[in-house]
Amino acid sequence: DIQMTQSPSAMSASVGDRVTITCRASQGINYFLAWFQQKPGEVPKRLIYAASNLESGVPSRFSGSGSGTEFTLTISSLQPEDFATYFCLQHDSYPLTFGGGTRVEIK
């Protein structure tokens, strides 16, 4: 099974900060990596697919990069509505595996 190691598990940041979240795969997953945002009581919402493609309607302050085993989600200027938990997902092979999540909290 492919393990997805996501870091950090939690972080405090201020509005306007640049935020970077990383997922490392235990083996290469090409570009089969997606990023999701989840707010309390809500369903996960996909932000990025195929490692770097922005989902329609998602603000351009979100971006994804990487390939192979290391991937990054960047929020260029954190907004109040971005305080949430973020997950990565590899779907290169079964079983699909999620990262452990990163909770972004207000500093």
Partner 1 sequence: EVQLVESGGGLVQPGGSLILSCAASGFTFDDYAMHWVRQLPGKGLEWVSAITWNSDTINYAASVKGRFTISRDNAKNSLYLQMNSLRPDDTALYYCVRYVAVVSLEYWGQGTLVTVSS
Binding site for partner 1 (CB under 8 A): 1, 32, 34, 36, 43-44, 46, 49-50, 53, 87, 89, 91, 94-101
Question: Pairing state of beta strands 62-67 and 53-54?
Answer: unpaired
C-beta of 18: minimal distance to partner 1 in Å? 25
| Nearest to partner 1 of 18, 46 (CB atom) | 46
24 beta partners: 5, 70
C-beta of 68: minimal distance to partner 1 in Å? 16
Cβ-based neighbour number of residue 96 at 10 Å: 14
C-beta of 38: minimal distance to partner 1 in Å? 8
Cβ-based neighbour number of residue 43 at 10 Å: 7
